[in-house]
Structure 1
């Protein structure tokens, strides 16, 4: 008697990968970016498409890429206010009527259409969370955190906002997380090294589930799974930018003398980005990912105002080297001379 067996079903991931590239890209563009690292593990084809330029272009056409800059007016301490801008496709910073943040110096990051302001700064720790809806331009108050923080490391991993450090040594809870789905706070793994008075936090979308933050001469990586903190020594302590930027699992910093440098967090070795000739006679305000490229904001101080310039850099990895190419470098807008840069935010979804 012959036995019969039903034909094996083809795995859904195989079926999906067999679709034409343009269809797969159209689907991937609608998937939040925080899931891209998981998708890149499915197949070599998906890994390639997740990082391709066509995906970034499609996301841009769908309005998935947003870029906001906030300046703080310090002319009159009794009347501090904030000016918000967005970078448009025609390479201009356009003013938008967002209100001043209730806690302007909090750790800030953007998830979807919402901008989250978490904790306090310097001698002003707080449990407050404020959320700005970029579509309506209105603030709402979020649930209060478990403990008050100041100058903490803030980042997003797997639909959760992690807030590590920035609390008193006496506190039992040294790290906490906010679940974006349930809108509730929970205790996170305590860091093995105190993350106090951190610089600019870096939103990590890498596979290692780590949040990267600069502190003085180091970039530190907080592992959200077990709390382990790894140290990556910077080439020099003083940067011409306050930012450390993470794009496609590669860290970037900028120095006036050496220019743009990159580091693989696993090897911890810093190298100069090849092929770039950036103007050294500028003050870098911020670096951030924009459409898969590195947006480089810098200023020229004039008597009447501050000119804000943006240089857009395309990055290409080739083994042991990363090549950089300036796609454009333009004047994008001006602010009054007493306005100081505060935040540079891009969507993480």
Structure 2
């Protein structure tokens, strides 16, 4: 009988399932996080291991945790938010990948991240006194925390020392004055602390720099010091109507599409604005963009630009920033690490929020 007609011996069974579970977890903890989605398709056992607390505890001990950028895209027609994650594909190109949004999470809201958790605040909290969902991105699980001890139409949030500062707008029908309400949630005790009111109008953005919260309404910029529990105006910050900004190393960055299409940076310690240099080509490419947004991930600046009306889509660039001194002046230079088309045919989608999450 020829060797070709011989019965082929069956392939040896995989040895991994025969290993003790703690050894399997130790092996999986060294695998790239971006490959976990593929591993979860191998078997039900692997799917449970990939989503287990033991695996992420082991990853933390080995220093294998990574930071990933979650991106909320809004639909201009429905105003609902769609969650995406910025991923690196096998061809070394970056893409925005749609991810499942757990139940009990508002599709119109404001989001803030604390380590591996995302807290979602409903923009219609004035009308719906609902518990606040906390999403653990490691396991895609949702934990509901107590509803806010204040009512507001729109909420933006910042995190300082493990406390979430939620600001929103409220207006009493028989009162012509508009007020901003701020509620504070302690993520360690899971308790809402005191809520305060101020005559600041509707907040349009919020960032945290050097332990202080910065926000703006339609006219002015304000800074809140939690140690002194008081608001103050910031005239230098108010020179530009910054919106859709982010913070890297306690410096605010935002794309100014009104004042010459430039990336501006504000240093609160020096109370000074500068234009980020070295990005002239990237800025020129985005001169026809309809929407802009800056985010940060793991100490890097990320700039999102919508493409032109004909090709549509979203373009993204990761930028390393460097502070320099030249002739007695402080300068900030940007270097493009990569620049890719991360979403095609996005039509009516634009970036509304980026979240730096530890996984």
Q: CA deviation at 1:109?
A: 0.6
2:84 aligns to what? 85
Tell me if 1:196 matches 2:201.
yes
Contact 1:108 1:118 in 2 (8 A): yes
Please point out which of 337, 340, 347 is paired with 1:327: 337
Instruction: Encode CA deviations 1:46-88: one digit per residue, 9 max, x unaligned.
Output: xxxxxxxxxxxx9xx833312111223455x5xx764321112
Q: How many residues align?
A: 278
Instruction: Mark the CA change 1:126 to 1:246 in structure 2 (over 3 Å): closer, same or farther.
Output: farther
Counterpart CA distance in 1 for 2:294 and 2:355 is: 10
Instruction: Encode CA deviations 1:113-149: one digit per residue, 9 max, x unaligned.
Output: 2110125259757564122222333433221111122
Tell me if 1:166 matches 2:192.
no
Please point out which of 136, 139, 144 is paired with 1:141: 144
TM-score by length of 2: 0.67
Q: CA deviation at 1:156?
A: 0.7
Instruction: Mark the CA change 1:201 to 1:172 in structure 2 (over 3 Å): closer, same or farther.
Output: closer
Contact 1:126 1:150 in 2 (8 A): no
Contact 2:213 2:225 in 1 (8 A): yes
TM-score by length of 1: 0.69
Give unpaired runs (5+ residues) of structure 2: 1-59
Please point out which of 173, 178, 191 is paired with 1:184: 191
Instruction: Encode CA deviations 1:244-296: one digit per residue, 9 max, x unaligned.
Output: 22211111122130501111113322111122212222234321112211100
Alpha-carbon RMSD:
3.2
Counterpart CA distance in 1 for 2:199 and 2:308 is: 37
Counterpart CA distance in 1 for 2:295 and 2:185 is: 24
Counterpart CA distance in 1 for 2:267 and 2:355 is: 23
Whose radius of gyration is greater, 1 or 2?
2
Tell me if 1:347 matches 2:331.
no
Please point out which of 308, 319, 326 is paired with 1:313: 319
Instruction: Encode CA deviations 1:12-34: one digit per residue, 9 max, x unaligned.
Output: xxxxxxxxxxxxxxxxxxxxxxx
Instruction: Mark the CA change 1:100 to 1:272 in structure 2 (over 3 Å): closer, same or farther.
Output: farther
